[in-house]
Amino acid sequence: MTYKRCRVKLHAQGIVLRDIVKGAEIKTKKQQVCRKGEFLVAEIDAKIGGIGIVPENLDGAIVSSHYFLFEINESLINKQFLNFFIRTPIFCDQIAAQGSTNYAAIRPSDVLGYSIPLPPLEEQRRIVGRVEELVGKIGEVRSLRQKALEETMLIYKSAVASLIQPNTNKSHIPHPKLSQR
């Protein structure tokens, strides 16, 4: 039997497939099953954003006991709202401030102690919509910027080519030192 294993990307950039392995190849025998929509926190990497929400394609994937899984109470918080909030400096600062600076790991009780604003669900949905709209605009701006950079390089190359052209004039004046050889 094979198992999908997932991992967290740092800086709250999501949960991704780590690999697919045979059960006999799994070294750590104590594993947990992830369910789509759960909040996943890496015990060691949480302080550098090793957190995220399990996507649908990783429903049933497994993680070691060095990850913490939390069900999200959707009657209180919108998953997308939480997904955006965990990327904010306010949230990241809470994680960084937890525990000793020499000890990177956090505990489940630490996670449950984080402060998350809970406006009414309708307001959370409005905020999510606005953030998604802004993310879309940022994507458009990045695309336009990339096109502008490409066009700038073409103009630059064209300008250089017009300034430096191969000598097509076949007539030449012999240089005295060179012609004495």
pLDDT digits (tens, 9 = 90+) for 119-144: 999 999 999 999 999 999 999 999 99
5-59 residue pLDDT tens: 999 999 889 999 999 988 888 888 889 999 999 999 998 888 888 899 999 999 9
Say which DSSP state 63 is in. Answer: E
Between CA 31 and CA 128, with CA 10 as vertex, the angle to 5 degrees is: 100
Judged by DSSP in three states, 20 sits in strand
pTM (two decimals): 0.74
111 alpha carbon, distance to own chain's centre? 21
